[in-house]
Chains A and B, each alone.
Chain A
Amino acid sequence: MLVIHSKLVEAMIAQSHKDHPIETCGVIAGPEGSNIPLRLIPMRNVAQSKTFFEFDPQQQLQVWREMEAQGEEPVVIYHSHTGSQAYPSRTDVENASEPGAHYVIIPTDNLYDREIRSFRILDGMITEERVCTVSAYHKLQAALEQLIEA
């Protein structure tokens, strides 16, 4: 399950609609091992495509270094689908390289779903998970989530 603050969900949706019909993308960092997404970093999509995204490699280096220096990891990796359902595409699965991350997809085409969806992608396997949007993070809640997942 992905537990995520509503303000982060709103920010991802706003960014996705602003960039529509180009796919948007970004990362939400959180303390290593916490599974709590805290710091949202919009990333430049160097592909500038309606059907593909790729983090700007130079920005990615800088952001990944910042995360390491601050003891963070990518808790959420998000991108939008601007003309298809919010389900991982073949290229999403082939390129999923952060085994610990929640992969969030934001649909911006009204023909398809309206809700964001979250997935774990590991060794080519897609597992959808529930998204629990909260207005505050509570330590107890986070601890419970970890217990449930363990």
Chain B
Amino acid sequence: MRITVNIPTILRPLTNDQKRIEITALNVLEVIDQIEQQYPGVKEKLITEGQAHRFVNIYVNDNDIRFSDGLSTSLQDGDSITILPSVAGG
């Protein structure tokens, strides 16, 4: 499956300043693993102990993966993934 991934500003120093990356993968975790192979350091910013980080939002098209199958959410050809760090604080 050909997937477009939208990279947030804060991770662009790790991805040669690219805003978008094309990846071939079957689910969200595979996408992140593929990005990690090309751009080491990205995965640890997104995943903690096998789960998406609490303060990172990952969307497949318009859908937050928390409300589907999390990192196992499967993908269709042409899907778009958007990664956005939560804006949060105290």
Contact = CB atoms under 8 A, between A and B. Distances in A.
Given A53-B88, A97-B8, 11 more contacts: A57-B59, A57-B86, A58-B64, A60-B87, A61-B57, A61-B64, A88-B89, A89-B90, A95-B55, A95-B85, A96-B89
Interface residues of B, number: 17
B87 A25 contact: yes
Given A57-B64, A60-B57, A98 B89 contact: no
A3 B30 CA distance: 43
Interface string A41-79: 001000100011111011011001100000001000101
16 contacts: A25-B87, A47-B88, A52-B89, A53-B89, A55-B87, A57-B59, A57-B66, A57-B86, A60-B57, A60-B87, A61-B57, A61-B64, A61-B82, A64-B82, A97-B86, A98-B87
Nearest to B62: A61
B84 A92 contact: no
A26 to B, nearest CB: 9
A95 B10 CA distance: 11
Contacts of B76: none
Contacts of B8: 97
A60 B64 CA distance: 11
A92 B87 contact: no
A99 B89 CA distance: 15
Interface string A119-131: 0000000000000
